C-alpha cells in the first residue's frame, strides 16, 4: 500500500511536467486547430534564451520575465513569417511545416549552445517538500504554477473580450469575421500565448530533466498524449490528463512485470488509446457533432 501511494505521488510530480506541456499544446490547438509538433522545440529554445540571460548575470526573475516577453514576440513572428502564408494550404502541408520548424530550432539550438547537458537553476529550492522524499519543493512549486496558469487562462478566456474573440475565431472563423473580429491576428496572438506558456513549461521542466537541445522530445510526446487524453478542447482536461499520464506511466513501470524504462511509453500510450476508443473525444473534451 505504501509503495502504491509513493508511486502515485511520484507520478503526480512527473505528471506536473506533462500537465504544463499539455496546457501549452491545448492553447495552440484552441487558436489554430492543429497540433504543433514544434511546440516542444519552441519551449526548449526559450529556455536556452533564459539560461543565456542568466549566464550574462541577470537574476532569475528578470530573466524569466524577459524570456516570457521574447517568447511571446517570437511566437507571433513565427506565425506571421512562416505559417500565415500557409493558412490556405492543406492541413497536411501545415504539419510538414511544423516538422520543418522542429528541425530548424533543434539544429540551431545545438549549434549555438551545443549538445552538452547543462544545469538549470530553480527558484523554489530542491529540499524535500513537507517531509516527503518523493516530491521536492521545486516539483510542488511546479504544480502550483501549473494550477495558477490554468486559473489565469480560464479567467482570460471566460471573462475578457479578447479571450472571447479568440475562442470565436478558432471555432467559427467565418462568423467571427462577420462580427468584426480580426481572425488572422487572433491566430497570431494564439501562437504568441502558446509560445509564452511553452517557455514557462520549459523553464520549470529544465531543473528536473536538465537543459539540452533534445530535452523536450519525449516530454512533448507525453504532453500530446496528456492533451489528447484530457480532450483537446479543454485546458482543464489537459492538466488532469498530464497528471494521469504521469501516474499511469509510473504504475505501469512498477506493477506490470517485464516492463523496463523502454516499454513505459508504449504501455502508457496503449492505455490512453484504450481510453480513447471508449471515449473518442477525450475525458473532458466536448464531442463534436458532424453534419453532412
| Contact in structure between 240 and 284 (CB atoms under 8 Å) | yes
- Spatial contact of 158 and 234, defined as CB atoms under 8 Å apart: no
Q: Which whole-number Å values give the CA distances from 158 to 152, 164, 180, in the listed order?
A: 10, 7, 19
Please identify, using beta-carbon distances, which residue of 95 and 134 lies nearer to another protein.
95
- Residues 6 or more apart whose CB falls under 8 angstroms from that of 123 comprise 60, 61, 64, 141
Q: How far apart are the first and last CA of the chain?
A: 52
160 binds another protein (CB under 8 A): no
**Whose Cβ is closer to another protein: residue 71's or residue 234's?**
234
- Given 5, 55, 65, 93, the residue binding another protein (CB under 8 A): 93
Minimum separation from the CB atom of position 88 to another protein (A): 8
The footprint of another protein on residues 16-45 (CB under 8 A) is: 35
- Pull the grid cell for residue 171: 471555432
Contact pick of 58, 134, 265, 283 for another protein (by CB under 8 A): 265
How many residues belong to the chain?
A: 292
Q: Closest separation between CB of residue 130 and another protein, Å? A: 34
State the minimum distance, in angstroms, from the CB of residue 158 to another protein: 7
Q: Would you count residue 272 as binding another protein (CB under 8 A)?
A: yes
Q: How far is the CB of 265 from another protein (least distance, A)?
A: 6
Integer angstrom CA distances of residue 123 from 120, 202, 210, 215, 265: 10, 14, 15, 20, 30
CB 239 within 8 Å of CB 80? no
Residue 90 near another protein by CB under 8 A? yes
Query: Among candidates 19, 26, 273, which has minimal Cα distance to 167?
Result: 26
**Of the candidate residues 5, 62, 65, 100, the single one contacting another protein (CB under 8 A):** 100
Is 155 near another protein (CB under 8 A)? no
Residues that bind another protein (CB under 8 A): 35, 82, 85-86, 88-93, 95-97, 99-104, 106-108, 110-111, 157-158, 167, 171, 221, 224-225, 228, 232-234, 262-263, 265-266, 269-270, 272-273, 276-277, 280, 286-292
Amino acid at each position: 500500500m505504501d509503495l502504491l501511494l509513493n508511486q502515485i505521488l511520484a507520478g503526480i510530480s512527473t505528471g506536473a511536467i506533462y500537465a504544463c506541456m499539455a496546457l501549452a499544446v491545448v492553447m495552440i490547438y484552441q487558436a489554430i486547430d492543429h497540433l504543433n509538433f514544434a511546440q516542444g522545440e519552441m519551449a526548449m529554445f526559450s529556455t536556452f534564451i533564459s539560461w543565456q540571460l542568466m549566464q550574462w548575470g541577470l537574476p532569475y526573475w528578470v530573466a524569466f520575465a524577459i524570456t516570457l516577453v521574447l517568447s511571446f514576440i517570437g511566437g507571433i513572428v513565427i506565425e506571421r513569417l512562416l505559417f500565415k502564408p500557409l493558412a490556405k494550404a492543406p492541413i497536411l502541408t501545415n504539419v510538414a511545416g511544423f516538422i520543418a520548424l522542429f528541425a530548424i530550432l533543434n539544429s540551431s539550438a545545438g549549434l549555438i549552445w551545443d549538445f552538452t547537458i547543462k544545469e538549470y537553476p530553480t527558484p523554489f529550492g530542491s529540499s524535500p517538500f513537507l517531509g516527503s522524499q518523493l516530491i521536492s519543493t521545486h516539483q510542488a512549486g511546479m504544480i502550483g504554477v501549473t494550477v495558477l496558469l490554468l486559473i489565469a487562462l480560464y479567467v482570460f478566456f471566460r471573462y475578457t473580450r479578447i479571450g472571447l474573440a479568440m475562442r470565436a475565431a478558432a471555432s467559427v472563423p467565418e462568423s467571427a469575421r462577420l462580427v468584426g473580429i480580426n481572425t488572422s491576428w487572433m491566430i497570431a496572438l494564439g501562437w504568441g500565448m502558446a509560445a509564452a506558456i511553452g517557455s514557462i513549461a520549459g523553464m520549470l521542466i529544465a531543473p528536473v530533466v536538465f537543459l539540452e537541445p533534445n530535452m523536450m522530445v519525449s516530454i512533448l510526446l507525453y504532453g500530446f498524449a496528456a492533451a489528447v487524453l484530457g480532450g483537446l478542447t479543454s485546458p482543464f482536461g489537459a492538466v488532469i490528463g498530464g497528471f494521469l499520464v504521469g501516474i499511469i506511466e509510473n504504475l505501469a513501470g512498477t506493477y506490470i512485470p517485464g516492463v523496463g524504462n523502454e516499454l513505459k511509453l508504449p504501455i502508457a500510450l496503449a492505455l490512453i488509446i484504450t481510453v480513447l476508443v471508449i471515449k473518442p473525444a477525450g475525458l473532458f473534451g466536448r464531442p463534436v457533432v458532424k453534419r453532412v
